[in-house]
Amino acid sequence: MSENTPQRIGDYEIIRELGHGGMGKVFQVRNVLTDRVEAMKVVLPDLAGRSDFVSRFIREIKTLAGLDHPNIATLRTAFTAGDQFVMIMEYVEGVTLADKLQRGPFSTADALNYTSQALSALSYAHSKHVIHRDIKPGNMMLTPQGVVKLMDFGLARSVDEVGLTATGATLGSLDYASPEQVQSLTTDERSDLYSVGVSLYQMVTGKRMFSATSSFSLMQAQVKEIPRPPIEIVPTIPKPLNEAIMQSVAKDPALRFQSADAFRNALSQIAAGDAPATSVPADIPAMATARPPADPGFTVPFEPQSQSNRNLLLVMGVVLVAALLAGAAVYKSRQHRESDQAAVAPVQAAPPQANPGTPADNLPAQSPPAPPQVPQAQPEGTTSAVAQQPAVVAHKTKPQATAPDYGNSPSAEDIQAQQQAALERKRQLDAMETEVDHLDGRVSSVESGLSALEQQMQRDGFGLRGDMVAARSNMRNDIAKAKQAMDSGDTERARHFLDLAQHEVEKLEAFLRGH
């Protein structure tokens, strides 16, 4: 467990981190009241303020809360802890089918068994008007008892919901996405069945249905290319299974199986004439039951400020700090002079209200000044606070009147520390200014590349991948906030958003290199 991993959230003790993604982290946890081991999915604190992330997370919570099926990972509860959104799920011990596929293709019997269980879960979800939209072997967990658990409903939606998938925001994993998903068209339950068919294709052949090397070419293949029949790759595959797979991945939804039950019945008939399912290995390690989905984002316009103006303000701030603190020290010294050496003018102030039992000729009470603060730069023609301090009366014949105690006045070391802090902040902002200049160049290159790619894809009727749309939006938003923080002199906040922007730029650069 990393140093940054919390030891406890609410009534749940963190055992270990199971996984993380752009949206959050998943932990194995123990409920300290029941001792039950469960899985905890947490939205990252940095993202909790982004309404789109929170909306998606809450939608997943509400979707899972309405589902209760032996082949779907169960939602236990959900709550907020500080600025974090938390979801507690059934902890499923096992491996994903994607991990199991790394050892090679499955036997026909195992592939039919696992797929039938996934279809049983989908039949139930579809009956509740819930479309998963991200079916793939990585979202199917296999337990040591041979039970398949469908998980990660982060992209799920109700068939009654609208506006969740806008043009240019393709969701799901492209290797398993239906043609209508790739084209950002309206999807229904048959889109999930297409993804099941692609997963089954990989289970029996050990290969991806399309071997495209870039996102764009993969999207084209999903829409236009007829896949190679699996029986040509593995000749021992039963012909009825080959035909069922090819039907499930038809480009036209009307030519596919029209329901999860119809698909499952076809597989049951194939299994009836095949060998019994093989046993599941007993030494399956534990993994998480949920994984965070891709990151959406939004755009905030920004107006960069000049470095010279910011430097001037910082220099003026340093000078004013020194002047104010030095004036306060001199002012205190004058208050402690011997009264017989004082020759001062009367105080120009409103007469104080007399208290009962106090001689009328006593001095008015003086309020000690507030601790020195770093002032903002003042417009021309204004007078600093130091120059406006009133004179103090020292009356030799009134010994009962004592000077106020200014014990909080700064020492010379304090003054020097204030000056050093201001200069260090200026140095950090100068370094960040250089970093932003370099980052702006990379951002311009990324924006140009994405615009050219979008134009090319739109000519073919495609939209940019949803996670890349989100990354571009996050990049713009984060660099805008970094510049705003720099303009206000907040180095810590500026550093935070610069790091976030750098991460999004790197993600987009890697995406463009693949094209």
Domain 8-90 is classified in which CATH homologous superfamily?
A: Phosphorylase Kinase; domain 1 (3.30.200.20)
Parse the chain into domains and list their residue ranges.
8-90, 95-272, 297-332+410-515
Class of domain 95-272: mainly alpha
pLDDT per residue as tens digits for the range 286-327:
444 444 444 433 333 334 444 555 555 565 665 565 556 666
* Contact yes or no for 15/9 (Cβ under 8 A): no
Residue 339 has pLDDT above 80, yes or no: no
Higher pLDDT: 154 or 390? It is: 154
| Pair of tokens at residue 14 | 């963190």
Dist. CA 274–CA 239, nearest whole Å: 12
pLDDT per residue as tens digits for the range 445-464:
788 778 777 777 766 667 67
- Helix (H) / strand (E) element for 495: namely helix 491-513
Dist. CA 284–CA 144, nearest whole Å: 6
The structure's pTM equals 0.56
Nearest CA-CA partner of 131 in 182, 84, 178, 90: 178
Q: What is residue 169's predicted lDDT score, i.e. its pLDDT? A: 40
Q: Is 134 a catalytic residue?
A: yes
Dist. CA 52–CA 57, nearest whole Å: 9
pLDDT per residue as tens digits for the range 80-138:
887 788 989 999 999 999 999 999 999 999 999 999 999 999 999 999 999 998 999 99
pLDDT per residue as tens digits for the range 226-263:
999 999 999 999 999 999 999 999 999 999 999 999 99
| Annotated catalytic residue within 110, 134, 175, 192 | 134
Q: What is the mean pLDDT of the chain?
A: 75
pLDDT per residue as tens digits for the range 60-78:
788 888 889 999 998 899 8
Counted residue by residue, the chain has a size of 515
